[in-house]
A and B are shown apart, each in its own frame.
Chain A
């Protein structure tokens, strides 16, 4: 099993550009989520999904869109990149929202907006 796969691993964007961060899992997990990690800020939840067709906002959703058309995929879209979105982005999935068996994280996407 590959677990949670994120692409790309690194990305540099210009202010105002848009892009999609990809996340795919092969564990048949119902729950998927996106976090951003900034120095001194810990992990902050952007959006999450409890199943295909269902998404909801986390604590820092502004500037990001998500959709969940399949169980496996949960892409994160940056609509108009801003320097404040420079961060490391992690996708995480779990068997259920309660994360009874823990959350499995992808290896991350390191995004720089200039």
Chain B
């Protein structure tokens, strides 16, 4: 079945360092969504990308959607302790908009 692979599984950084997580789908996606889950919390929607090659920024976070709409990345500049959590990507198959296909997430730890 369709899969969304997300790497790395874990990332440990010093505060102030940059962080990037990558998602790769085996098939073309109609969109890609990113969520953040704090430890013990629930996923919170960050953003959705729908266009090939789309880039969106939210303060220190930069989101990209690949030209082939099969991969995406989330980059955080100058991490802060408030960035700690697990970041998930999720996308809809181009032929099915009722089920999100989720990556397994990247857990980010930030040393102060």
Instruction: Give the one of B43, B44, B105 with max A CB within 10 A.
Output: B43
Q: Which of B61-69, B72-80, B93-101 contacts A (4 or more CB under 8 A)?
A: B93-101
How many B residues face the partner with a CB closer than 8 A?
Answer: 23
Contact B99 A45 (CB under 8 A): yes
Interface of B is mostly: strand
A103 within 8 A of B: yes
Contact B98 A97 (CB under 8 A): yes
Which of A58, A96, A101 makes the CB contact (< 8 A) with B99?
Answer: A58
Instruction: Give chain B residues whose Cβ lies under 8 Å from the Cβ of A56.
Output: 98
B31 within 8 A of A: yes
Given contacts A105-B42, A107-B42, contact A45 B100 (CB under 8 A): yes
Given contacts A40-B104, A99-B33, contact A48 B98 (CB under 8 A): yes
B-contact 0/1 string along A99-114, CB 8 Å cutoff: 1111111111000000
A-contact 0/1 string along B75-112, CB 8 Å cutoff: 00000000000001010100001111011110000000
> Complex Cα distance A98/B100, Å?
8
Contact B104 A42 (CB under 8 A): yes
Those of A80-102 within 8 Å (CB) of chain B: 90, 92, 96-102
B24 within 8 A of A: no
A105 → B minimal CB distance (Å): 4
B-contact 0/1 string along A55-80, CB 8 Å cutoff: 01011000000000000000000000
In the complex, what residue of chain B is closest to A57 when comparing beta carbons? B99
> Complex Cα distance A103/B48, Å?
10
> Complex Cα distance A16/B77, Å?
49
Contact B43 A90 (CB under 8 A): yes
Instruction: Give chain A residues whose Cβ lies under 8 Å from the Cβ of B103.
Output: 42
Contact B99 A100 (CB under 8 A): no
> Complex Cα distance A73/B65, Å?
34
Contact B105 A90 (CB under 8 A): no
In the complex, what residue of chain B is closest to A108 when comparing beta carbons? B42
